[in-house]
Amino acid sequence: MDEVLLRQHVEALAGTPRVPGTPEHEKAIEYIRDEFKSLLLPTQVVVESDGSKNIVAVAGNPRMPCFVVGAHYDSVPGSPGADDNASGVAALLEIASVYKPYKKPQHMSFEKGAHHVQFVAYDCEEDGLLGSAAHCRRLQQGGVEVLGMMSLEMLGYTSPNQKFVEGISIPRTEGDFLAIVSNPKSVSLLKLFQGIESPLPYDTLTVPRGTEAAMLSRLSDHGSFWDAGWNALLLTDTAFLRNPHYHQPTDTPATLDYTFLRHSAELVSKALKGLVNIA
């Protein structure tokens, strides 16, 4: 992963707030769409019935089971949203860059079994996960077999200070790690990260039902997949439990740790390659 490109993506997206219905929001759509297209991945801006606009790029064989990697690109009013969530979108774009568009093998009467990945930049996460909920409905209506989903939610902030809530128990005191969070149903996906060597400290967590951690852990687009009954993971720098700029005007590109962001993207890419084969 290229740290310079990650920074460029964040700076391009997080100069101003990206609130749905504004020119800045439309510019973000154009930027993400063009970046996906530059990778030669089939890309579509899908306008949902609720008005949300999801940007979907596809790699691999669309006839095979699907894995989704997503990150929301909208921000709250008044915040440029560098960590929330230009950092996740930057990682999404760089992870997608290592994949190629699917080409049907010639002179074959059947298509060999490669999975496919949908890389999705979600809209209206800040308005109640509207974009990801609409995407899940489309997948269900299309009869798509979903292997799982990873939600990239704030991947770029480190701090000497770290808060914890009920339901999380890990031996850390500094905000220098990536949290990989599962609900009880999705615990099998955590195995994707077992044994991966990384300079990035990371912890895989399963949040118990009925705890504060379980409540907070639903607050991004993987929550829509949980609601649909699919396995999904949240990958995060822990958001407001670490980052004091969360939803503030001060959530700017200059506050991020781009080495941490690069290591986060690399970790997700390694885990994804362990699951799918889309050569």
Give per-residue pLDDT as tens, 136-145.
999 999 999 9
pLDDT on residue 115: 78
Provide the pLDDT for residue 99: 86
Q: What is the pLDDT of residue 107?
A: 55
Closest Cα partner for 181 from 133, 214, 136? 214
* Res 174 pLDDT > 60: yes
The residue among 109 and 201 whose pLDDT is bigger is: 201
pLDDT at 218: 85
Q: End-to-end alpha-carbon separation of the chain, Å?
A: 19
For helices 23-38 and 87-96, the axis angle rounded to 10 degrees is: 20
* Model confidence band, residue 279 (pLDDT cutoffs 50, 70, 90): very low
The beta-carbon contacts of 35-38 under 8 Å, at least 24 apart in sequence, are 35/9, 35/93, 36/93, 36/96, 36/119
Name the CATH superfamily, with its identifier, for domain 3-273. Answer: Zn peptidases (3.40.630.10)
Give yes or no for a contact between 135 and 54, defined as CB atoms under 8 angstroms apart: yes
pLDDT at residue 79 greater than cutoff 60: yes
Q: Which residue has the higher pLDDT, 23 or 279?
A: 23
Q: Is the pLDDT confidence value at 97 over 50?
A: yes
Kindly report the average pLDDT of the chain as a whole number. 92
* pLDDT value of residue 216: 83
Sorting pLDDT into bands at 50, 70 and 90, what band is 172?
A: confident
The yes-or-no verdict on residue 169 having pLDDT over 50 is yes
